[in-house]
Amino acid sequence: MIAVATASRIEGYQIAAYRGMAQGATFNELLNNAEDLGANAVLNTCYDHALDVNTLFQSAAVIIEPIQRCSVRFHRNGQL
pLDDT at position 76 is: 64
pLDDT at position 73 is: 60
Residue whose C-alpha is closest to residue 61's, from 32, 13, 26: 32
Domain annotation for the chain: domains and CATH numbers: 3-66 (3.30.110.70)
| Pairing of the two strands 13-24 and 56-66 | antiparallel
If phi > 0 it is left, if psi is from -120 to 50 it is alpha, else beta; for residue 44 that is left
Strand-pairing partners, residue 67, are: none
User: Is the pTM above the cut of 0.85?
Assistant: no
Task: Quote the CA–CA distance of 22 and 37 in Å, as a whole number.
Answer: 8
Instruction: Please report, in tens digits, the pLDDT of each residue of the chain (80 residues total).
Output: 777 777 777 888 889 999 999 999 989 999 999 999 999 999 988 888 766 667 789 999 999 999 887 655 655 665 55
